[in-house]
Amino acid sequence: MQNVRWWDAAAAAVTVVIAAISLLDPPFGADDVGTWAVAGAFLVVHFAWGRRCVPVAAPRAHLAISITYAVLLAVGTAIEPSFAILQAFLYPFVWSTSPNTRSAIVANIAIAVAIVVGYAVRAWPAGLVVGGAVAALSVGFSIALGLWITRIAQFGEERARLLAELQAAQGQLAAMHRDAGVADERARLAREIHDTIAQSLTGMVMVAQRTGRRLVGVEGEAAASARDDVELMEQMAREALTEARGLVASLAPIESDGGLGEALRRLAETFERETGVRVSVTTDAAGLDRELEVVLLRCAQEALANVRKHARASSADIVVTTAGTPPEIVLAVRDDGVGPGDASPGDGGFGLAGMRDRVALVGGRLEFAAGRDGGTVLRVVVPARQALEGRDATAGADA
């Protein structure tokens, strides 16, 4: 019952019950007036102070309100023993609003002592015995029930925590399955393109070359026109073959099990072997979130595909650094080619729009411009999410 309105209703109800009990035995005297005054004081204290302790009070505030309630209970019980019915409100209240089990037990003992004091003042020494019996029974039941309910709540919180961890693990597993499916599909498409379209285009280039050699010794206007057509066919086939090989390279999966740096080095070696363009890799970012590694790796792959298709470069550099506060991961791909010209992230043929969308999904940004010394510079900036942060937080919570 952590809704403050329910506690307000309960406080008002117990006050009405106390007043009603005193009204059952007229004529009314000083004891009845005193009972009504203490009951009214309790109601004022609750609405002015007690209700602000819901749902959980600070340790000092909880102790202070518990002692205040205990004093009111002792005074009211000393005037009228039936005032002890107030404990039906106080015991649940101090348990529900306590910041910890220790505070709740201390508050329970304070309430029990208040009952004993009230009965003892009312009728010494018989009241001491009656008050002790009533207090022992009520506080024993309250502590036992409170500890039981607290234990159940702890089990519930632990179960909720485990359920949240399970759901998070299921989400991560689903994401890994999706990534694996995407990687498998990309690999399949790369193989299909390599084994079908690229091979067919290679065959067309070879046929065009052979046909051109056969037409070398043939004279006449028709033969010259045929040679021009064959040369055009060869050129078109070579361009299409270059595009197909670039597409295969961009679709081919790059394993990042050894970290982003190792994956980038493998990518650079493959690109250099296929194109002859020298590629250097420098990285100082380690332990990154898996999703960020995949995003940066794909951006580097797409950037090199653009270098292959458009830059006419002889060398390129891939640099990954960590900078800024809060930290950001910066991927920079530079080449010494012809430069970007008028290309922008929205233009077709450069793959920049898709790269920009991929980076935006992880809260990053894409920068694309000409280099100061010529060529092109592509920068990808994403917020750093270290893979170790989650493990550190878990270890801190366990400690």
The mean pLDDT of 365-379, rounded to a whole number, is 87
Shared domain check, 258 and 399 = yes
| Cβ neighbour number for residue 171 with a 10 Å cutoff | 10
- The pLDDT assigned to 255 comes to 59
The mean pLDDT of 129-137, rounded to a whole number, is 90
The larger pLDDT score, comparing residue 155 to residue 339, is at: 155
Mark which of 124, 140, 163 sits at the end of a domain.
124
Q: Is 236 domain-assigned?
A: no
CATH of the domain at 299: 3.30.565.10
- Low-confidence winner among 67-76, 113-122, 252-261 (lowest mean pLDDT): 252-261
Q: Is 241 domain-assigned?
A: no
Instruction: Decide if pLDDT at 254 tops 80.
Output: no
d(CA 282, CA 265): 9
Q: Is 376 domain-assigned?
A: yes
Q: How many domains does the chain have?
A: 2
Instruction: Decide if pLDDT at 372 tops 50.
Output: yes
- The pLDDT assigned to 258 comes to 65
Instruction: Decide if pLDDT at 392 tops 50.
Output: no
- The pLDDT assigned to 389 comes to 45
Q: Is 137 domain-assigned?
A: no
Instruction: Decide if pLDDT at 391 tops 60.
Output: no
Instruction: Read off the pLDDT of residues 220-248 as tens digits, 9 standing for 90 and up.
Output: 788 888 888 888 888 888 878 777 776 77
d(CA 153, CA 276): 66
Q: In terms of DSSP bridges, do strands 376-383 and 365-370 run parallel, antiparallel, or are they unpaired?
A: antiparallel
Mean pLDDT of the chain: 84
The residue range of the domain holding 104 is: 4-124
- The pLDDT assigned to 121 comes to 92
- The pLDDT assigned to 385 comes to 66
| Cβ neighbour number for residue 151 with a 10 Å cutoff | 11
Q: Is 99 domain-assigned?
A: yes
The mean pLDDT of 93-122, rounded to a whole number, is 93
Q: Is 34 domain-assigned?
A: yes
Instruction: Read off the pLDDT of residues 55-81 as tens digits, 9 standing for 90 and up.
Output: 888 999 999 999 999 999 999 999 999
Q: Give the sheet arrangement for strand 376-383, strand by strand.
A: 278-283, 315-323, 328-335, 376-383, 365-370
d(CA 186, CA 176): 15
Q: Is 168 domain-assigned?
A: no
d(CA 295, CA 357): 11
Instruction: Read off the pLDDT of residues 147-173 as tens digits, 9 standing for 90 and up.
Output: 998 889 888 889 999 999 999 889 888
Q: Is 159 domain-assigned?
A: no
Mark which of 94, 124, 154 sits at the end of a domain.
124
Q: What percent of the chain has pLDDT over 90?
A: 35
Amino acid at 15: T
Mark which of 124, 143, 171 sits at the end of a domain.
124
